[in-house]
Chains A and B, each alone.
Chain A
Amino acid sequence: MPGVYFITNEFLEDAKSAARDRGMPQIRVVALPADKYYRFRASKEELQPIANTCFNHMIEALTRPLTPEEAKPSPIQKQREGGNLQVAGRDFLHAFEKTNELFLGNRWSDGLPIVPPAPDLVNAMLAGTTRSPQEIIGQVAPKNGTATVEKIAINAVMAGAKPEYFPVILAAMEGFTDTHYDLTHVQASTGSFTPVVMVDGPIAQELGFNSGIGMLGHGWRPNSTVGRAIRLSLLNIGQTWPQVNDMALTGRLEAYTFFTFAEDTARSPWEPYHVSRGYKPEDSTVTVATSVNPTVFGGGAVTPWTGPGVIDSIVARMKGGGVVWPHSQTYILVLHPDCAVDLANHGYSRTSLQDYLYEQTRVPYEKLAGPVFFGHDNEVDFIRTSIADGRIRPDRAQVFLDALKPGGRVPVVQGPDDFHIMVAGGSPGYDLLFSYPGTNWANQTKRIYGATLTAAGRN
């Protein structure tokens, strides 16, 4: 079917890149001036001058006969990504600097200095797992680069990770490349989403992950380098670059290490998060998720708080406006240990707290008035479509159908288990709410196995 795509000029490279990725490098696009389109798109009158300037271009794109290259484009040559490189230098420090310049110039780095991935270091990293270097962990969006164990090891070396961390990194990459996880959205979206990486089980303590004060900050090598190894793996194996095919408008607030931390199972009043997901207490796991930047609750060291008060604030926040997207909304709630204990003392288990959040955040049908986009005029229509096309799980559909009438109360998530509750943070601490109004069910938990250098994570 002949056609033409309107984009804005800031996305021209992105469009060309995506077209090549999908094997149609010659699609015809018409670029609109981004600085005018986004400002004036609310008004047809103000859009008219923009349409006037591009109309003839659009007609030409729809009617001009194809060139031979458009009709039958040359095959896209496969770019080999194997083979080692030789970097010459006066001395080691000179060669180190030249390696960093080479890698950043090739868009193989995040801009911070990297450890040169020498074969000896990569082999040492590979010795941290029993898994074969050739094993394919998955395909990394948006270009579907093949993530082998060896490629991930190269990136882990560059990040400064220790070989004993490697099984954690592999499990996280399994999560990010799971076919149910929309990695393209994370890697490329203007929304500037940041991955969350949460380690659970005995390996977290054995490796020395920080789950206390400063858990999202610097100073702990496992938190910093596991996150950075994932950052570099996604960048290099998926072949992304800002302003080319990573269009995160602000970049990500945790751009270099993502939100990487461990659950504080010792101070949690509840079973570990991964056990609530069906894993054994002796298992070690990584949970990966997509999030917008977290909202902070609780008083920390400044003002008094109570567990129920924190939860009320969180409920108010969740109900406090915006479009209800139950088909895709997930939350990660990271409670600091004192808050979790206070809630437990008030009788809450993780499950009953999930149920409480689910019930308290339901929105009265009469308040579903938000204007929505994606082709719908109102939220009721939006939710009904989500039911019809299966994005709301069939076993939850009736709950929503019952709620979509006067007097009904519409859930903001599909079920209570879309509130993922974890325990980490300091004493005093703050509580963090990560949300994701995305296009899929984002959370993935993967078991860590194959470790050779730690007692945990072996089997």
Chain B
Amino acid sequence: MPHTSVEQAQIQLEVMNPRGEIPPSKTLGISPRGGSLDGKKIVLIDNGKFGANNFLEVVGAMLKENYPKATIVMYPKPAAQTITNLPKWYPTVKPQGDLFVFGVGD
């Protein structure tokens, strides 16, 4: 059969979309910020994976050196979580300080 470069649609195949609908979620902005870090309490949250504590300690030391009036605290995420108890932990972060640095998230 000779090859033809002109495609002529002879048939239409109707197919269905396999993707799931994503329920709409409320969109939130991030928290306001601005100004110096002096006088602020900065919470370093170790996500618990190997080496994250080392990295955050290095970052914490740099923060202390560059912002001597800031307070640096470590607040590690508790041991490997279940899907049921992480929501109870998140609200405990806010009372720890003014800003957070989370890492290292893979």
Contact = CB atoms under 8 A, between A and B. Distances in A.
A228 to B, nearest CB: 12
A72 B29 contact: yes
A37 B55 contact: yes
A154 B16 contact: yes
A42 interface: yes
Contact of A63 (B37, B76, B94): B37
Interface residues of B, number: 67
Given A374-B48, A439-B80, A117 B101 contact: no
A382 B23 CA distance: 37
A98 to B, nearest CB: 8
Given A6-B55, A42-B51, A90-B10, A140 B20 contact: yes
Interface in B1-42: 7-37, 42
Nearest to A70: B30
A134 to B, nearest CB: 12
Given A4-B102, A62-B99, A119 B14 contact: yes
Contact of A391 (B15, B36, B85): B85
Interface in A224-252: 232, 236-239, 247
A117 B15 contact: yes
A182 B84 CA distance: 9
B30 A24 contact: yes
A238 B82 CA distance: 20
A372 B15 CA distance: 50
A136 to B, nearest CB: 10
* Interface size, A (range): 35 or more
Nearest to A390: B85
Contact of B16 (A28, A78, A117, A439): A117
A439 B50 CA distance: 17
Interface in B57-77: 57-59, 62, 66, 76-77
A5 B77 CA distance: 14
A7 B106 contact: yes
Contacts of B18: 103, 108, 117, 151, 154-155, 158, 232, 236-237
Contact of A382 (B25, B79, B82, B99): B79
A296 B27 CA distance: 48
Contacts of B84: 180, 440
Of the listed residues B18, B51, B66, the one surrounded by the most CB atoms of chain A closer than 10 A to its CB is: B18
Interface in A1-48: 1-8, 10-11, 14-15, 21-28, 32, 37-38, 41-44, 47-48
Ranked 3 nearest A-B pairs via Cβ: A145-B20, A41-B51, A6-B103
Interface of B: 7-37, 42, 46, 48-55, 57-59, 62, 66, 76-85, 93-94, 98-106
Interface of A: 1-8, 10-11, 14-15, 21-28, 32, 37-38, 41-44, 47-48, 50-52, 55, 58-59, 62-66, 70-76, 78-92, 94-96, 98-99, 103, 108, 116-119, 122, 139-140, 143-148, 151, 154-155, 158, 179-180, 182, 184, 190, 232, 236-239, 247, 325, 327-328, 372-376, 382, 385-386, 389-391, 439-440
Given A70-B29, A81-B21, 5 more contacts: A6-B103, A32-B55, A42-B50, A44-B57, A327-B80
